[in-house]
Every structure is written in C-alpha cells, then in structure tokens.
Amino acid sequence: MMNEKTKKESPSVDKWLKEAKNDSAALQEGMYLVHNGTVRQTPKAKVRQGFDDGTLVKGMEFFYDAQKVDAAIAKTHMMDGIFHVRVWLNEGHLELGDDIMYVLIGGDIRPHVIDALQFLVETIKTTCVTEIEKK
C-alpha cells in the first residue's frame, strides 16, 4: 500500500456562489468571478517566457504561507466595490490536472471585480506560494 498523503478535496464553486449570494453584502454585488488554477503539462517557462527545453511537467510540489494569503485577501477586501473574497489553496504533491487554487471575487461592477481577481491571483502567485514543477 502506498504511503501517500490524502489530497485536499476541491471546493464546490456552486456552494461558494450560493453562500456568497446569501451573504448580507450580496445585494451590493452585480458580478462574481471565479479563478481555478490547475497543474498543466506545459512548463511555466514555455508558457510565460517562450523558453522550450523540450521537457514536460509530470506533477508539482505546491506550498503556501497562510499569513501572506490572509494579508492578500484583506487587501483585496479593501479594494473599491469588492464585498466578497474567498480563496482555497491545495498543498503538497499535485498531479497533472489537479486543482492548485480557487478564488472567488464578488463586487459591484465588472472593472472592480476583474481588477480584484487579477490583483489577488497575481499576489498569491508571486508572494505567497512556492510551486516546484516536477519534470
């Protein structure tokens, strides 16, 4: 029998949206955006910088700093027109296709919600997590 850590169960986006829409702030919200990052086979260097060394990703080690994530969520909550922020992050050894993260943003108008989602995902990816691609 393999001694492998049990993977975290991905959240239900339907449940998240239902909870957000039942929140007292929901009457101020006109838009929700969801981000779902997954482990892909194409290396980050190829996708982001166009560098192709011929390798493919077989999995990923993923870790995060919960305090930094909480701080990023708090900053996002302070953005104009943002009333709902929810984040789920996986951790440990992830396989191709596994969920890395879910982010839900609810706010008043499209530009505010798009800006908040971009800010939060970028902040999480650049300052809160460690992603090690396994090739």
Residue-wise pLDDT for 36-50, tens only, equals: 999 999 887 776 777
Least confident window among 49-58, 59-68, 78-87, 92-101: 49-58
Structural domain containing residue 99: 28-134
Mean pLDDT of all residues in 12-18: 98
What's the helix, strand, coil split of the chain in %, to 5? 40, 30, 30
69 located within any domain: yes
Mean pLDDT of all residues in 89-102: 97
75 located within any domain: yes
* Encoded tokens for 35: 């981000």
Residue that has been written with the tokens 């990816």 in this structure:
125
Task: Detail the DSSP E strand segments found in the chain.
Answer: 31-38, 59-64, 82-89, 92-95, 99-107, 129-134
For the cut 70, the answer to whether the pLDDT of residue 3 exceeds it is no
Work out how many domains the chain is built from and give that number. 1
Residue that has been written with the tokens 């990052």 in this structure:
37
The more confidently predicted of residues 52 and 19 is 19
86 located within any domain: yes
Q: Put the strands of the sheet holding 31-38 in their side by side order.
A: 31-38, 99-107, 82-89
Residue that has been written with the tokens 């909550």 in this structure:
77
For the cut 60, the answer to whether the pLDDT of residue 131 exceeds it is yes
Q: What is the CATH number of the domain that holds 32?
A: 3.90.1170.40
74 located within any domain: yes
